[in-house]
Structure 1
């Protein structure tokens, strides 16, 4: 699209983010809420909406929603009730969804994002609790739809932003921060591929300076950061082209096809009247007391921005290191655990961001699956700090042995493999003298100004010592000897 045309329009984006809560059971029934079971095995008369059954609210789901609100500085609603949303759900056996309409559990708040253009807080309109629907499955060559009710009744929070996101980058960055936050809080695994975190994108365009929003279009069930960006970018161009050509934009629900990078219409968007909300008669009102709210606040884990400040101030790390280490709660916890056994905090950071991260990436592992304990990593760092082994020896030879057999200490591995650095100056001086005597011609070249030969001499000394010579001590001896020749 011509940039001049693009600059005539302002994009308005709002997100509806759905996060499945990691409770053991569903929000209104005792069925398991875990992912991956055989179809229709996590069901019960309540999930199936049998006559005479009554829902019962899952307290843990409420507390998880409260955690999100507290982390986002939202106002927690004291008096709440649930509603029936009577829009037809083919994958909810009751034929309606239990949700919160008039009294969402959280109001306001937001998530701070860092963009290429600066920083801002994307505000929430509200966060509400509801139950998830089941899944409709369509097999190739069949006109029938298969229904799996395992997911029906899984607890959800839906986080509805204000319509103030201005770009595809901002939407994806916001989703990245939300995923990090729900993982830190321990309320959702953030797995977008499995659908435990997904979002609907509401998008419109309007002329720059206009106070009237354009017609809103919804893109449903986005479960990838990359797809969110691509769908928004395509939809911006499509809507601007339509306006420029005097075509009417329909308020509709659209889907995104990753293969083509295009959105396509599914159905015209329902109005709020189509949902026919009314208070859920089978659930008593929910009251969140000050005591209950205080109890949840006391159990809150440290949040990413709190740890960032701690890592930069208490541990003295650069901002870059702190950003990397706080990207994951598990990595941050591993760093802090390692720092209990050493004061060389920068070395801990370097090891985690370097050797440890490379190993985890190569083997597709999370840091919780690492066999090297924080105490063992600190012991390895201490070996380097004490000058007993070089950093490269520790990384390339000792660390892999620790992975293979974590019953041995780093020192035991270094001694067994004869990797302890030789720092005895008499022994090292002998090696220096031997190498220089065997390379007299090169010594003359060095004395005539070819100083780059120093690394060649060091290489020969390291060969003779089988890598055990202390590089710092040896380099000092070598330079002093050459100066005195």
Structure 2
């Protein structure tokens, strides 16, 4: 039987406010346990929450970026559950009336097999809520502790429709969403610190069916690799279970990266189990049209807008433009190169190729920190265009500048003797010598063997130690061969 995978993602994005969503306590990561928890975070009797305006503004910004409806009226609810790291016994969240409704996101997908493609999916909602604290186990053998530093950290929970059909699509969406929230400045996006965590709802159904299968939710996936691995395992597990005559049980599961498998944490609750009701300590949230308009005026150029501009002005494909807008750093770097580069498409190829490879080989480096500045790369590309150096020489110049051997492109070219031989007289003399020494290849070419021509070009390049202008060599050689 053929199976179809159905995936929906819920992503918890920590917002980049200075203080927490309902208190003035700081929200920085890594401080000593319980040093950033105030009386509101600890739920001391009589403490009342006060909504952080900055968190609301970040939610508005996100809603505008995904072309969603930003609600003029929304409500905070109490979501009741009883964990040691939730001192109130409930989480303040939003249920029936969230701050952001609908929206869509377009992203690039790179499947394991087949060509990359673009996909657009619909979002259900995005709502504001507070994070819980953290249980810490094993500090002292046999004991557990509670750290409330994270309690009350502002979250934007972003929920998709169940329109993802593979782990590759889930990762493509998650990467695009991560890039967007960082681009907008609403989150640091630091996955190691838990600023961007995904829950994947996974089910399978017979291909062609319109009924949804029983879903399982995999919680707290904080890396793109773990997201893909967890979904792939869960899909295999569910298919094997059904084909062996079993039934999938709705459950919450955790992913164990050491074993490469998911395991059941608890049977899955439904919304009624949380006994949602409006929080009586918080007034309904009212967002005026004027406030939305002001936020809209302050918005940066969005990734999809920049992609459209790159396609229109630079002639780039949707896929290339999506790669170059994967982060603000990459986009700024490319735009800096394209501003002075003679060919925008060649500039894109270099940024996605040579520059990206060099950046990725240096742990922790961003495009903004690349030793080859955009203006310097544009100068290298200009020297290819005017025939001063060839592609091979350009890569040597790039490597030299990256290694700190100077930023004056022309000086590096001179120092390394990379200037192409473009003098027609000098090239003709070399070609005559090659033709004299390779009579057999000349005969084979004249007999119709095109490979022989390539062999003659290779000999010319060898004679000049790769410094000959390949286009000129080709032109002069064909002319001499008649």
TM-score normalized by the length of structure 2:
0.83
CA distance in structure 2 between the aligned counterparts of 1:296 and 1:169, rounded to whole angstroms: 33
CA contact (8 A) 1:234 1:262 kept: no
| Structure 1: distance between partners of 2:217 and 2:431 | 74
Instruction: Tell me, in whole angstroms, the C-alpha distance in 1 between the residues paired with 2:254 and 2:442.
Output: 74
Q: What's the offset of the Cα at 1:24?
A: 3.1
Aligned to 1:42: 36
1:109 aligned partner: 103
SS of alignment partner, residue 92 of structure 1: coil
Change (3 A) 1:277 1:320: closer
What residue number does 2:239 align with?
A: 237
Q: Do 2:457 and 2:473's aligned partners in 1 also have CA atoms closer than 8 Å?
A: no
Alignment gaps of 5+ in structure 2: 446-451
Cα distance, 1:346–1:195 mapped onto 2, change above 3 Å: same
Q: Where does 1:334-483 land on structure 2 (aligned, <5 Å)?
A: 334-364=333-363, 365-396=365-396, 398-405=397-404, 408-428=407-427, 435=433, 440=436, 442-449=437-444, 451-452=452-453, 453-455=455-457, 457-463=459-465, 468-474=467-473, 476-477=475-476, 483=481
**318 and 266 in structure 1: CA distance in 2 versus 1, 3 angstrom threshold:** closer
1:61 CA drift (Å):
1.7
CA distance in structure 2 between the partners assigned to 1:133 and 1:318 by the alignment? 43
Corresponding residue of 2:275:
276
| Cα deviation code 1:185-220 (max 9, x no counterpart) | 332344444432222233456678888755554332
Note the C-alpha offset of 1:377.
Answer: 1.4
In 1, the alpha carbon distance for the partners of 2:162 and 2:463 equals 67
Give the direction of change, closer, same or farther, for the CA distance of 1:37–1:401 in structure 2 (3 Å limit): farther
Matches within 5 A, 1:45-124: 45-112=39-106, 121-124=120-123
Could you tell me which runs of 5 or more consecutive residues in structure 1 were left unpaired when the two chains were aligned: none
How many Å separate the matches in 1 of 2:128 and 2:254?
25
In structure 2, relative to structure 1, the CA distance for the partners of 1:260 and 1:282 (3 Å cut) is same
Taking the TM superposition and a 5 Å limit, the aligned residue runs for 1:280-299 are: 280-299=279-298
Q: Equivalent residue of 1:27, what SS?
A: coil
Distance 1:303 1:188 in 2: 15
Tell me the matched-pair count: 466
Please say if residues 122 and 164 of structure 1, whose CA atoms lie closer than 8 Å, have aligned partners that are also in contact.
Answer: yes
CA–CA separation in structure 2 for the residues paired with 1:390 and 1:165 = 44
Alignment RMSD (CA, Å):
3.4
Whether the aligned pair in 1 keeps the contact of 2:461 and 2:468 (CA below 8 Å) is no
- Distance apart, 1:423 and its partner CA: 3.1
Report how far residue 380 of structure 1 moved: 1.4
Matches within 5 A, 1:258-273: 258-273=257-272
SS of equivalent residue, structure 1 residue 306: helix
Aligned to 1:256: 255
Aligned to 2:197: 198
| CA distance in 1: counterparts of 2:283 and 2:412, whole angstroms | 63
* Corresponding residue number in structure 1 for 2:144: 145
Q: Output the CA distance in 2 between the equivalents of 1:146 and 1:112.
A: 42
C-alpha separation between the residues in 1 aligned to 2:153 and 2:72? Answer: 23
**In 2, Cα distance between equivalents of 1:268 and 1:197:** 24
Asked whether the 8 Å contact 1:19–1:196 carries over to 2, the reply is yes
In 1, the alpha carbon distance for the partners of 2:118 and 2:214 equals 28
- Compute the displacement of 1:345 (Å): 0.7
Contact 1:113 1:174 in 2 (8 A): yes
Aligned pair in 2 of structure 1 residues 333, 46: CA closer, same or farther (>3 Å)? same
For 2:72 and 2:256, the matched residues in 1 are separated by 42
Question: Which stretch shifts more, 199-208 or 371-380?
Answer: 199-208
Change beyond 3 A, Cα 1:76–1:22: same
- SS of match in other structure, 1:146: strand
Q: Distance in 1 between matches of 2:431 and 2:130?
A: 75
Contact 2:108 / 2:322 at 8 angstroms: preserved in 1? no
Q: Name the TM-score, length of structure 1 as normaliser.
A: 0.83
Cα deviation, 1:39-91, whole Å, max 9, x if unaligned, reads 43433343333445443322222122122222222211112232232322322
Provide the residue aligned with 1:159 in structure 2. Answer: 158
- Aligned equivalents of 2:404 and 2:335: distance in 1? 24
Q: Structure 1 residues 265, 428: closer, same or farther in 2, change over 3 A?
A: closer
**Residue 461 of structure 2 contacts residue 467 of structure 2 at CA under 8 Å; is this kept in 1?**
no
> How far off its partner does 1:349 sit?
1.1
User: Aligned residue for 2:217?
Assistant: 218
Aligned to 2:14: 20
Shift of the 445–174 alpha-carbon distance from structure 1 to 2, 3 Å rule, reads closer
Who is 1:227 aligned against? 229
Q: Secondary structure of 2:194's partner?
A: coil
| Aligned-residue offset at 1:251 | 4.1
In the TM superposition, residue 407 of structure 1 has moved relative to its aligned partner by 5.9
**Match of 2:449?**
none
**Change in 2 beyond 3 A, CA 1:140/1:300:** same
Whether the 8 Å CA contact 1:372–1:406 is kept in 2: the answer is no
Q: Cα 1:346–1:122, aligned 2, differ >3 Å: closer, same or farther?
A: closer
Could you say if the C-alpha distance between residues 268 and 430 of structure 1 is closer, same or farther in structure 2, counting changes exceeding 3 Å?
Answer: closer
* Larger-gyration structure (1/2): 1
CA distance, structure 1, for counterparts of residue 141 and residue 127 of structure 2: 37
